[in-house]
Amino acid sequence: MKHTLPFIASLLLVVAIVMSCRQEPKRMPDTLPDVYGYVTDIKRTANNGSGAMAVVAIKALEGVEANYDDASVKIDEHTLLEDQTGEPLTLAELREGHEIQAWFDGDVLASKPVQGRAKAVRIKR
């Protein structure tokens, strides 16, 4: 009995640490998209064991509100990709001409066009 209490306390501590390290499920942001437009170019940069990656050029739609105009958006294995109904998509399903909303993850390079990594992308097919 003497050793049971420290064991249980240690076990609870390990469980608490593991639970705090779990990643939140990916969710589509409910904020104004950083860029809203249509895909003008897709450059696939990798498709190896670490996941597909691409750099997508987006041309802003006229009259649609977004944080930035045209953008160059990096999409990788950490990017949430969904269609307008919330169905998951793969990078292979993205085509030039698709209407797209993108939210950046972190800082962006303030160039023309703005450049950044997408945390989430919604595609209207």
Average per-residue pLDDT in the chain?
A: 85
Q: Per DSSP, what are the bridge partners of residue 19?
A: none
In total, the chain counts a number of residues equal to: 125
Structure tokens at 104: 């950046």
Measured CA to CA, the distance from residue 53 to residue 46 in angstroms comes to: 5
Per-residue pLDDT tens over the stretch 17-29: 655 555 555 788 9
pTM of the entire structure?
A: 0.76
Structure tokens at 8: 């249980």
Per-residue pLDDT tens over the stretch 34-69: 999 999 999 988 766 556 799 999 999 989 999 998
